[in-house]
Amino acid sequence: MKKVSISDIARKAGVSVSTVSFVMNDKAVKMRISREVIEKVENVAREMGYRPNQLARGLRTGKTKTIGLIVENISNAFFASMAKTIEDEAKKYDYKVVYCSTDNDETKARELISMLSQRQVDGYIITPTLGLAEEIRKLQAENKPVVLIDRYFPEHEEIPSVLVDNYAGVTEGMEYLINKGYRKIALVTIEVDMAHMHDRLQAYYDTLKKHDISVDPRLVKQVPYGYVREAALEEIEDFFSGDGKDSDAVFFLTNYLGVLGIETTKKMNIRIPEDKAMLCFDDNDIFRLYTPTISVIRQPICEIGQQAMTALIERLRHTGTEALPENAPVKLSAELVPRDSI
């Protein structure tokens, strides 16, 4: 089979060879080639199966056409789905993705950034650990584009981020529970000092106060982050046997805590929803397949991944001659999915 050349692409796209060369070598924006022409050339190249010599192009342009994706845990259903969306979006722009997991360990996160930097990735999409802001700002100072997903740094809005509106999502879930008549609503969350989890917790407290429901701190259980599964199960079981025993509903603030909650209620013969209603932030296949099905606040995973990739590509193509998009956090709406558990 004949190897596709840039001349072949130019003929089919109806543009000059130089235009194709500029697009393939990431110089199209600098040469003021329109977005429509760029996308047309890229689509034709993809349809014709064009495969540039990445090593040669990297030597010419200083770009590797790779993106570093750093998440908390790639085995988690939320991050796995997100990674697949980002990979699919990256392919549209002829980028490859290298995946890494931090396990919410700041030292590991720094080591991963260093490793990806040595591999000369062109840009980063990162779910940051708590103390990673300065490391990310260093990348920006080196003209390496970074977009945060799922989390953000309120004190560093110069770092672009795409995430769900956590406060609004939990508020909607709490309103639904209260409108259904529940008043003793327990909350199970993780003990971690991250802005997005603070937003979720604050929404819980604010919604109770709005409805003149007394806030009982004993109904809030914080499971230490990083607990092994058996220890976390024991923490939740102790909570349901103690302070949370008389609650009429329970809201789990992460999907993996919700999965542990299902296992615990089954072990303790707690009937859902007869004894306790159950709601979880984030969906999971188990929640749809379990009987009764579990109500959730579903994050728009695909949209988060798509918008994060779009924001990164805009910055990768930026030449300094035009203004960058605003870096204010992009907050997307979550969706309440009522099921049998309420």
The helix/strand/coil state of 99 is strand
The residue type found at 138 is K
Strand duo 123-126 + 330-332: pairing: unpaired
Whose tokens are 């190897």? That residue is 3
Instruction: Read off the pLDDT of each residue in 218-228 and give the average, rounded to a whole number.
Output: 91
Q: Dihedrals φ, ψ of 126, to 5°?
A: -130, 135
Q: Are the C-beta atoms of 203 and 168 separated by less than 8 Å?
A: yes
Beta bridge partners of 332: 164
> What is the value of pTM for the model shown?
0.80
Residue with tokens 């992009």: 330
Instruction: Quote the CA–CA distance of 7 and 23 in Å, as a whole number.
Output: 13
d(CA 286, CA 262): 9
Amino acid sitting at position 90: A
Mean pLDDT lowest for which of 59-63, 158-162, 284-288? 59-63
3-class secondary structure for 180-247?
CCCCCEEEEEEECCCHHHHHHHHHHHHHHHHCCCCCCHHHEEEEECCCCHHHHHHHHHHHHHCCCCCC
Mean pLDDT for the chain? Answer: 90
Say if CB 203 and CB 277 are below 8 A apart: no
Tell me the β-bridge partners of 296: 280, 337
Arithmetic mean of pLDDT, 213-240: 94
Helices 17-24 and 6-13, packing angle to 10 deg = 110
Q: Tens of pLDDT along 84-102?
A: 999 999 998 889 999 999 9
State yes or no: pLDDT of 291 exceeds 70.
yes
Q: Which domains are assigned to the chain?
A: 6-59 (1.10.260.40), 63-163+301-331 (3.40.50.2300), 166-298 (3.40.50.2300)
**Best CA proximity match to 315, nearest among 93, 133, 118, 52:** 93
Please tell me the predicted confidence (pLDDT) of residue 24. Answer: 80
pLDDT tens digits for range 165-216: 999 999 999 999 999 999 999 999 998 888 999 999 999 999 999 999 999 9
CA dist 268 → 238, 243, 245, 258, 307 (Å): 11, 15, 11, 15, 42
- Count the neighbouring beta carbons within 10 Å of the beta carbon of residue 169: 24
pLDDT for 247 equals 97
